[in-house]
Structure 1
Amino acid sequence: MPARLALVCVTLLTASQWTAPATAAETVVLTTTEWPPYSGATIAGQGAMSVILKEAFSRVGITLEVQVLPWRRAIEQARKGTDAIGYFPGYHCDHLPGFAASEPLGIGPLGFAENLENPITWSSVGELGEQGLRIGTVRGYANTEEFDQKVGQGWIRAVPAQTDTANLAALARGRVDAAVVDSRVLRYLLQTDPDLMPYRDTIRFDERPLDIKTLHACFLAGADGDATRRQLDAGLAEISADALLDDYLKAME
Structure 2
Amino acid sequence: MRYAFVLLVLLFGSAQAAEQVRLTNGEWPPYLGETLPHHGVASRIVAEAFALQGVEVQWEFHPWARSLKMAEQGLRDGSAVWLANPEREQRFHISEPVVESGYYLFHRKIHAFDWSDVEDLRGLRIAGTRGYDYGEAFERAEAAGELKVVRLTGDEQGLRQLLAGRIDLFPVDKVVGFDLLYQKFSAAERQRLSFHRKPLRSDSLHLLLSREVPGNAELMQRFNRGLNQLRDSGKVSQYLLEIQQPLSLSH
Report if aligned partners of 1:120, 1:178 keep a CA contact under 8 Å in 2. Answer: no
Alignment-mate amino acid for residue 56 of structure 1: A
Deviations 1:1-31, CA, capped at 9 Å, x for gaps: xxxxxxxxxxxxxxxxxxxxxx785211222
Q: CA RMSD in A?
A: 2.3
Deviations 1:178-201 (A, max 9, x none): 11100000110001125x665211
**Distance (whole Å) between structure 2 residues aligned to residue 102 and residue 225 of structure 1:** 11
Residue 74 (structure 1) shift: 1.9
| Pair 180,225 (structure 1): closer, same or farther in 2 beyond 3 Å | farther
Aligned counterpart, 2:81? 89
Matched, 1:125 2:115: no
- Distance in structure 1 (CA, Å) of the matches to 2:50 and 2:17: 10
Runs of 4+ residues over 4 Å off in structure 1: 93-97
Does the Cα contact within 8 Å between 2:41 and 2:240 map onto a contact in 1?
A: no
Matching residue within 19, 26, 29 for 1:36? 29
| AA aligned opposite 1:105 | V
Change (3 A) 1:120 1:64: same
What residue is the counterpart of 2:159 in the other structure? Answer: 168
- TM-score by length of structure 1 reads 0.80
99-108 or 37-46, larger mean C-alpha shift: 99-108
Unaligned stretches of 5+ residues in structure 2: 1-15, 247-251
Which residue number corresponds to residue 209 of structure 1? Answer: 199
In structure 2, relative to structure 1, the CA distance for the partners of 1:203 and 1:68 (3 Å cut) is farther
Count the aligned residue pairs. 226
Aligned equivalent of 1:6: none
Secondary structure of 1:206's counterpart equals strand
Instruction: Report deviation, 1:174.
Output: 1.9
> Structure 1: any 5+ residue segments left out of the alignment?
1-22
Task: Specify which of 165, 170, 181 is matched with residue 179 of structure 1.
Answer: 170
Cα distance in 2 between the residues matched to 1:67 and 1:104: 21
* CA deviations over 1:38-79 (Å, ceiling 9, x no partner): 001111111000110011000111111222222222222222
Q: How far apart in 1 are the matches of 2:68 and 2:187?
A: 30
Aligned to 1:243: 237
